[in-house]
């Protein structure tokens, strides 16, 4: 039955492959919207007849050429869609765009069908989803809670299974907080990875278009279909789009140290966070407490610094004549821009540059961060009593991300003991989207939660869309560049993604080279029958990153072609025979990790 479909991309494409029609899926989407009975989710719906007509005009089913073929989606109502008004949740601001935003154009070109425009905190200013003149969307898990913002309607639409994916925006956490509060995936890409042309700006230099979905496979497919520079958007840029099928096996993940954990007295939220960390450890991750002082200071800049003035600049002309049209809380926040001058702006930029430099060293210690997506779960009653403080607390672990040019993925995790949703956000430098999605997906799968608020089981992990993988060069590492080892950051900082753990063919010997510390490995190919199978990892780098990486390899090491047990022959580390003078043959241990463990024993 169509009503039993999860609306995941996999389930819909299986339905189409079996002969189902996208028109009937679109009818089902509108039936679900009516049945949901929540007038706050959408501000404007595409007329059903027009959505069905778009479905009927699709080319023949080809999920490779059209990866989003027949997929219903929604867009936050600060993102332009031709034929529908853009309101940014301010009726007096509404206008009719002449063309789609870049991301909407690309989603449609990939076969997706737009259903409507969703509610938001007005002008994307807020993390709670209640600052709108329209009805407030109901949190899909617990109606007593706020839906999260500013992308409130987009998150609820996905969580309730009304659409397969929805577009949001994220400046301070708007693509992550609503995901956590509604038990769905929130993919916050590297800044500029998705063009923001055709998006009403909040802070134009920081804004990201984000993707909500029930699964990471769906979020990734939509992301890849829409990603890439736009010549008409000066803030767009190319980032690596290679997905990582599985997380690196021994990832070192930074977490806030004890004194940096802030739950504001919400013991159940803290308990859910610790349950999430236990899931991470069960996946083989090593958790390392990190000093979050610089991150928190960066977060404070967003609303206590001149970036508020950037929000003012986005709607300055409208504000001159329509100040009374703004939601009172929104107006109060944006009016705060009047206290900032150019000197304040430059001082803040200088301090931000210092904080960026201060945090760079962290990425040599850890592969990524794992933080509570939100440290509190505010109710609508909490916001009625205090419209500011609960909102600010929601941004504790989100506000710094875009300022520091980081990517992030919010993943559903173990629920709180009161039945409310929780989860973790994984954060790493720009260009790390694929690695983050792999770890976040593994965590999501391990958490055992259902799909959003649908009550349907999370399906087994499927394949990530392969688009964007072309052009990467595989490289085999055997020593300190292995995941979790001291030099792994030299791979990740060059756009590297983990491919697989595999041994060499049994034609190699591994040596601990003379000198040091630190100890260095030397892998040497030997005559057949005289070697061992040595544990390795295969990573993949974009050509530019590969060049930077190999240029720093010191003698007597070099790059050659390796023969692996899976039959592949990628490039990898080898040692020159002269480099073995004074070395220790450690081949019998089977790999560098075992050797390092033996030193500590």
Per-residue model confidence as pLDDT tens digits over 219-244: 999 999 999 999 999 999 999 887 78
The answer on pLDDT for 270 being more than 80 is: yes
Distance CA 270, CA 413 (A): 12
Write the DSSP assignment of 94-140 as a string of letters: -B--SS--HHHHHHHHTT-EEEEEE--SGGG--SSS---SSPPPPPS
The answer on pLDDT for 168 being more than 70 is: yes
Of the pLDDT bands very low, low, confident and very high (cuts 50, 70, 90), residue 314 is confident
pLDDT > 70 in the chain, percent: 99
Site of tokens 């909102």: 391
What does the pLDDT read at residue 243? 77
Per-residue model confidence as pLDDT tens digits over 272-294: 999 999 999 999 999 999 999 99
Determine which one of 102, 150, 196, 493 is catalytic.
150
Of the pLDDT bands very low, low, confident and very high (cuts 50, 70, 90), residue 368 is very high
Sign of CA dihedral 441, 446, 447, 451: positive
What does the pLDDT read at residue 304? 73
Residue predicted with more confidence, 242 or 152? 152
Determine which one of 132, 151, 154, 174 is catalytic.
174
Per-residue model confidence as pLDDT tens digits over 289-298: 999 999 999 9
Least confident range from 15-29, 113-127, 321-335: namely 321-335
Cβ(373)–Cβ(440) under 8 Å? no
Tokens linked to 178 = 């609503």
What does the pLDDT read at residue 470? 59
Could you give the 3-state DSSP secondary structure of residue 209?
Answer: strand
The answer on pLDDT for 517 being more than 80 is: no
Tokens linked to 544 = 């530019």
| Mean pLDDT computed over 574-592 | 95
Instruction: Provide the mean pLDDT of the chain.
Output: 95
Distance CA 47, CA 17 (A): 27
What does the pLDDT read at residue 469? 54
What pTM was computed for the model? 0.95
| Mean pLDDT computed over 391-401 | 97
Domains of the chain with bracketed CATH: 2-447 (3.90.1300.10), 472-600 (3.10.490.10)
Distance CA 35, CA 46 (A): 17
Per-residue model confidence as pLDDT tens digits over 414-446: 999 999 999 999 999 999 999 999 999 999 999
Per-residue model confidence as pLDDT tens digits over 170-208: 999 999 999 999 999 999 999 999 999 999 999 999 999
Determine which one of 76, 117, 138, 279 is catalytic.
76
Tokens linked to 43 = 């501000």
Catalytic residue at 76? yes
Catalytic residue at 364? no
Catalytic residue at 174? yes
| Mean pLDDT computed over 343-355 | 92
| Mean pLDDT computed over 393-407 | 98
Task: Calculate the alpha carbon distances from 295 to 305, 398, 400, 544 in Å.
Answer: 15, 10, 6, 29
What does the pLDDT read at residue 467? 54
The answer on pLDDT for 212 being more than 60 is: yes
Per-residue model confidence as pLDDT tens digits over 127-151: 999 999 999 999 999 999 999 999 9
Tokens linked to 419 = 């039945």
Residue predicted with more confidence, 305 or 80? 80
């Amino acid at each position: 039955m169509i009503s039993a479909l999860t609306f995941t991309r996999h389930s819909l494409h299986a339905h189409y492959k079996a002969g189902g029609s996208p028109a009937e899926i679109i009818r089902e989407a509108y039936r679900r919207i009516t049945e949901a009975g929540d007038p706050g989710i959408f501000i404007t719906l595409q007329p059903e007849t027009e959505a069905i007509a778009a479905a009927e005009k699709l080319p023949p089913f080809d999920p490779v050429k059209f990866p989003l073929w027949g997929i219903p989606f929604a867009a936050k109502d600060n993102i332009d869609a031709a034929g529908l008004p853009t309101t940014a949740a301010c009726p007096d601001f509404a206008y009719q765009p002449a063309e789609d935003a870049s991301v909407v154009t690309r989603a449609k070109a990939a076969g997706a069908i737009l259903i409507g425009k969703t509610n938001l905190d007005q002008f994307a200013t807020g993390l709670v989803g209640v600052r709108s003149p329209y009805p407030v969307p109901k949190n899909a898990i617990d109606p007593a809670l706020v839906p999260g913002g500013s992308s409130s309607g987009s998150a609820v639409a996905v969580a309730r299974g009304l659409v397969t994916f929805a577009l949001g925006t994220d400046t301070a956490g708007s693509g992550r907080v609503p995901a956590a509060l509604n038990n769905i995936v929130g993919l916050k890409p590297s800044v500029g990875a998705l063009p923001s042309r055709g998006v009403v700006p909040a802070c134009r230099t920081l804004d990201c278009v984000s993707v909500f979905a029930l699964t990471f496979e769906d979020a990734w497919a939509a992301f890849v279909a829409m990603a890439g520079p736009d010549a008409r958007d000066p803030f767009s840029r190319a980032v690596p789009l290679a997905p990582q099928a599985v997380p690196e096996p021994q990832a070192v993940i930074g977490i806030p140290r004890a004194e940096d954990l802030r739950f504001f007295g919400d013991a159940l939220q803290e308990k859910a966070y610790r349950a999430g960390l236990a899931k991470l450890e069960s996946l083989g991750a090593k958790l390392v407490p990190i000093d979050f002082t610089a991150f928190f200071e960066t977060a404070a800049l967003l609303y206590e610094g001149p970036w508020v003035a950037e929000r003012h600049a986005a709607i300055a002309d409208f504000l001159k004549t329509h100040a009374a049209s703004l939601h009172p809380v929104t107006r109060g926040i944006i009016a705060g821009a009047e206290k900032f001058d150019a000197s304040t702006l430059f001082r803040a930029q200088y301090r931000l540059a210092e904080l960026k430099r201060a945090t760079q060293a962290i990425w040599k210690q850890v592969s990524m961060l794992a933080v509570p997506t939100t440290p509190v779960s505010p109710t609508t009653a909490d916001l009625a009593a205090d419209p500011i403080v609960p909102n600010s607390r929601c941004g504790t672990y989100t506000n710094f991300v875009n300022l520091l040019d980081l990517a992030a993925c919010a993943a559903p995790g173990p629920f709180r003991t009161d039945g409310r949703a929780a989860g973790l956000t994984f954060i790493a430098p720009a260009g790390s989207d694929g690695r983050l999605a792999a770890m976040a997906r593994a965590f999501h799968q391990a958490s055992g939660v259902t799909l959003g608020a649908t009550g349907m089981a999370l399906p087994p992990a499927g394949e990530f869309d392969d688009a964007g993988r072309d052009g990467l060069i595989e490289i085999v590492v055997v020593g300190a560049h292995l995941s979790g080892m001291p030099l792994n950051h030299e791979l990740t900082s060059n756009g590297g993604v983990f491919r697989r753990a595999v041994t060499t063919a049994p034609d190699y010997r591994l040596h601990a080279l003379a000198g040091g510390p630190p100890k260095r490995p030397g892998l040497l190919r030997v005559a057949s029958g005289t070697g061992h199978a040595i544990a390795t990892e295969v990573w993949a780098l974009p050509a530019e990153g590969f060049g930077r990486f190999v240029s720093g390899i010191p003698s007597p090491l070099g790059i050659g072609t390796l023969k692996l047990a899976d039959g592949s022959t990628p490039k990898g580390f080898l040692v020159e025979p002269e480099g073995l003078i004074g070395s220790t043959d450690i081949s019998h241990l089977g790999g560098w990790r075992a050797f390092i463990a033996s030193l500590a024993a």
